[in-house]
């Protein structure tokens, strides 16, 4: 049996482990009774799933919907998702383009399985969500990261993307709106990336789980770009836009042949998502679709409130996100090591933020702050951070 460090390395290495250890410690202290600890180091909502969605799951269970299901979801749900995608993304699709999956993480993992072989290469970006690495190299592929510079709004330099392409490159993974930076890549950037994919005949895996949580800049699905629908695998989730993080349900949009490949993987791994969760998803798409706009507007309000509260803190630069539920704080002017800063902040102010190094080298000197808390809690967090900076900055 391989040593645990092999898995740790696959999840992002030592920096990632150090970063997430702060979250683990903060949660441990909160559970131990330190209820004044503020945990803003994880991407979960502070509110529950819409009652209409919950009630539909309960009703489905009471009606006996707790048996095996088709490996890529109920056809009626796939049809509803296809209609939802067609309306929101502007790309007409049918149920043949849809696979229901147990969460976006599973979607990325499956996309890697069906597009990569041992020895293949995939281009990703730094920073990136911490679990991508393990999901993509599991197939035996190699991975390289193109830097996303803070000073460039965390948008890729196309020349550097082109330089990262190798003869063995088979895919590119993008994430816009981005976790952790909140950057929404404009259409012209996506068009340039799409051109690279067409030129080198490679797949584009597009994680779009925050697509409904954009603020001023619109989300663009790469599948809508010229000649991209048959080489793009788009991954979505009910977790963020519908506040269903623990339900573990998402979907993939791809060409029908790719969906058949996904079906084979799902049949081997899971043999279908729970029927009562799919019933809840039907309600989320039909009856509770208004909750999507409500969640987006709530996070835009929280973003603006926190940015205003932090604007007067010296030596802290706010990188205002275009979407999502996170805010990046640039603390490089303090001269402090990010991980050391975060640990001291937890010890002295009982405030847990996530060091950017957990997502890649390009976020050295940055902290990720989750907006998944009430106005009062976020105000308190801003006050605690200000006190800390005045002491150490």
Q: Is residue 377 part of a domain?
A: yes
Enumerate helices (H) and strands (E) in the chain, giving the number of each. Answer: 13, 13
22 and 132 fall within a common domain: no
106 near 118, Cβ under 8 Å? no
pLDDT the model gives residue 342: 96
Same domain, 274 and 141: yes
CATH number at residue 69: 3.40.640.10
Q: How far is CA 245 from CA 45, 236, 248, 277, 324, in A?
A: 8, 12, 6, 12, 14
**Residue after which a domain boundary falls, among 255, 287, 319:** 287
Same domain, 115 and 188: yes
Residue 269 lies in a domain: yes
Do residues 278 and 296 both lie within one domain? no
- Whether 245 is in a domain gets the answer yes
Identify the CATH number of the domain in which residue 329 sits.
3.90.1150.10
Tell me how far apart the alpha carbons of residues 352 and 40 are, in angstroms, rounded to a whole number. Answer: 6
Residue 235 reports pLDDT greater than 70: yes
List of residues 6+ apart from 386 with CB closer than 8 A? 310, 312, 313
The pLDDT assigned to 2 comes to 30
Percent pLDDT > 90 in the chain is 92
Please give the distance of CA 107 from its chain centroid, rounded to a whole number: 12
Asked whether residue 135 falls in the same domain as residue 223, the answer is yes
Average pLDDT over residues 81-107: 97
Same structural domain, 359 and 274: no
Q: What is the pLDDT of residue 19?
A: 73
Please tell me whether residues 190 and 243 are part of one structural domain: yes
Residue ending a domain, among 241, 261, 287, is 287
Q: Is residue 43, in this structure, part of any structural domain at all?
A: no
Residues 173 and 312 reside in one and the same domain? no
Q: Does residue 274 form part of some domain?
A: yes
pLDDT in tens, 319-358: 999 999 999 999 999 999 999 999 999 999 999 999 999 9
- Verify that 282 and 296 share a domain, yes or no: no
Reported confidence tier of residue 11, pLDDT bands at 50, 70, 90: very low
Domain assignment of residue 45, yes or no: no
Domain, as residue range, for 106: 51-287
**Structural domain total, the chain:** 2
Q: Is the pLDDT of residue 10 over 80?
A: no
* Residue 42, in any domain of the structure: no
Which of these, 115, 80, 113, lies nearest to 98 by C-alpha position? 80
Give the model confidence (pLDDT) of 60-69 as tens digits: 999 999 999 9
Q: Is the pLDDT of residue 86 over 60?
A: yes
Query: pLDDT tens, 136-164?
Result: 999 899 999 999 999 999 999 999 999 99
State the pLDDT confidence band at 271, using cuts at 50, 70 and 90.
Answer: confident
Q: Which of 253, 287, 321 delimits the end of a domain?
A: 287
Q: What pLDDT is stored for residue 14 in this prediction?
A: 42
318 has pLDDT over 60: yes
Dump pLDDT digits (tens) for 169-193: 999 999 999 999 999 999 999 999 9
Residues 249, 150 share a domain: yes
Whether 46 is covered by a domain: the verdict is: no
Question: Does 268 share its domain with 301?
Answer: no
**What's residue 119's pLDDT?**
96
- 253 and 361 fall within a common domain: no
Return the bridge partners of 206, or none. Answer: 174, 234
Q: Could you tell me whether strands 169-175 and 121-126 are parallel, antiparallel, or unpaired per DSSP bridges?
A: parallel
């Amino acid at each position: 049996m391989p040593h645990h460090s092999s898995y740790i390395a696959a999840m992002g290495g030592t920096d990632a482990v150090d970063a997430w250890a702060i979250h683990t410690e903060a949660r441990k202290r909160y559970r131990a009774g330190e209820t004044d600890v503020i945990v803003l180091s994880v991407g979960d909502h502070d509110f529950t799933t819409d009652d209409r969605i919950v009630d539909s799951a309960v009703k489905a269970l009471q009606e006996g919907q707790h048996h095996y299901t088709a490996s890529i979801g109920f056809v009626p749900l796939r049809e509803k998702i296809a209609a939802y995608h067609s309306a929101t993304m502007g790309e007409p699709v049918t149920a043949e383009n849809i696979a229901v999956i147990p969460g976006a993480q599973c979607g990325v993992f499956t996309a890697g399985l069906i597009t990569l072989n041992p020895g293949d290469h995939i281009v990703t970006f730094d920073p990136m969500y911490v679990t991508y690495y393990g999901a993509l190299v599991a197939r035996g592929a190699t991975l390289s990261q193109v830097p996303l510079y803070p000073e460039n709004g965390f948008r890729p330099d196309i020349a550097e993307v082109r330089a990262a392409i190798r003869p063995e490159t088979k895919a590119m993974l993008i994430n816009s709106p981005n976790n952790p930076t909140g950057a929404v890549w404009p259409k012209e950037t996506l068009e340039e990336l799409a051109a690279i994919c067409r030129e080198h005949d490679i797949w584009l895996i597009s994680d779009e789980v925050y697509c409904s949580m954009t603020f001023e800049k619109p989300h663009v699905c790469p599948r809508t770009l010229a000649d991209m629908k048959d080489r793009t695998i788009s991954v979505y989730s009910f977790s963020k836009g519908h506040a269903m993080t623990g339900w573990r349900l998402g979907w993939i949009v791809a060409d029908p042949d790719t969906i058949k490949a996904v079906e084979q993987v799902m049949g081997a791994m899971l043999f279908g998502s729970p029927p009562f969760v799919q019933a809840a998803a039907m309600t989320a798409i039909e009856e509770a679709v208004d909750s999507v706009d409500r969640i987006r507007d709530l996070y835009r309000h929280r973003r603006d409130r926190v940015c205003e509260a932090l604007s007067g803190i010296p030596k802290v630069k706010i990188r205002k996100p275009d979407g999502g539920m996170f805010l990046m704080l640039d603390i490089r002017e303090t001269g402090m090591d990010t991980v050391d800063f975060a640990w001291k902040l937890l010890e002295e102010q009982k405030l847990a933020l996530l060091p950017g190094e957990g997502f890649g080298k390009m976020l050295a000197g940055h902290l990720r702050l989750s907006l998944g808390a009430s106005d009062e809690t976020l105000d308190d967090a801003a006050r605690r951070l200000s006190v800390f900076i005045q002491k150490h900055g």
